[in-house]
Amino acid sequence: MRDADDPALFRRVFTRSVALLSRRWGLHRLAEVEDAVQAALMTAVERWPRDGRPENPAAWVATVAHRRLVDAHRRQAAVVPNDVEPPLQPLSSGVLGREIGDEVLRMMFVCCDPAIPIESQLVFTLKVLSGFSVGEVAAHLFVSTDNVYKRLSRARDVLKSRRGLLDLGPEQYPRRLDAVVLVIYLVFTEGHLASAGDEAIRVELCREALRLGGLLAEHPVGRQPKVAALMALMHLHASRLGSRFDGVGELVTLEEQDRSRWDRSHRAAGLRWLAMSAEGGTLSRYHAEAGIAAAHAMAPTFAETDWERIAACYALLERVAPSPWHRLNRALAVAELRGPEEGLALLADLTPAPQVTGSGAWAAALADLHRRAEHPASFVAYRRAALDRAPTDAVRRLLERRFDA
Partner 1 sequence: MPTYLCLQRSLPADPPSEKPSPDEMQAMYAKFGAWMETYADQLVDTGGKLGEGRLVRAEGQVDGPFVEVKELVGGYMIVSAETLEAAIAVAEACPGLVRPGSGVEVIAIDKPG
Query: Which positions touch partner 1 (CB under 8 A)?
Result: 7-11, 13-14, 35, 38, 41-50, 131-133, 135-136
Q: Classify residue 129 by its DSSP letter.
A: I
Which residue, 114 or 135, has its beta carbon nearer to partner 1?
135
Rounded distance between C-alpha atoms, residue 12 and residue 18, angstroms: 10
* 3-class secondary structure, 251: strand
- What's the number of CA atoms in the CB half-sphere (13 Å) around residue 204? 20
What is the amino acid identity at position 300?
P
Which stretches within 112-171 are classed as H helix? 118-124, 134-141, 145-161
Residue 398 φ/ψ, nearest 5 degrees = -60, -45
Rounded distance between C-alpha atoms, residue 138 and residue 147, angstroms: 8
Distance of closest approach, residue 131 Cβ to partner 1, in angstroms: 5
CA 211 to chain centre: 10
Distance of closest approach, residue 268 Cβ to partner 1, in angstroms: 29
Cβ-count burial 211-245 (b if 16+ within 10 Å, e if not): bbbbbbbebebbebbbbbbbbbbbbbbbbbbebbe
Which residue, 7 or 281, has its beta carbon nearer to partner 1?
7
Which residue, 10 or 245, has its beta carbon nearer to partner 1?
10
Please name the residues in contact with 3: beta carbons below 8 A apart, sequence gap of 6 or more. 9, 53, 57
Which residue, 14 or 273, has its beta carbon nearer to partner 1?
14
Distance of closest approach, residue 241 Cβ to partner 1, in angstroms: 20
Going by C-alpha positions, the residue among 401, 400, 398, 402 that lies closest to residue 194 is 398
Which residue, 97 or 135, has its beta carbon nearer to partner 1?
135
Residue 364 φ/ψ, nearest 5 degrees = -65, -45
Distance of closest approach, residue 45 Cβ to partner 1, in angstroms: 5
Distance of closest approach, residue 50 Cβ to partner 1, in angstroms: 5
Distance of closest approach, residue 5 Cβ to partner 1, in angstroms: 11
Distance of closest approach, residue 226 Cβ to partner 1, in angstroms: 30
As a dihedral over the C-alpha atoms of residue 41, residue 42, residue 43, residue 49, rounded to 10 degrees, the angle is 90
Rounded distance between C-alpha atoms, residue 348 and residue 60, angstroms: 62
Distance of closest approach, residue 58 Cβ to partner 1, in angstroms: 12
Distance of closest approach, residue 18 Cβ to partner 1, in angstroms: 10
Which residue, 8 or 380, has its beta carbon nearer to partner 1?
8
CA 244 to chain centre: 19
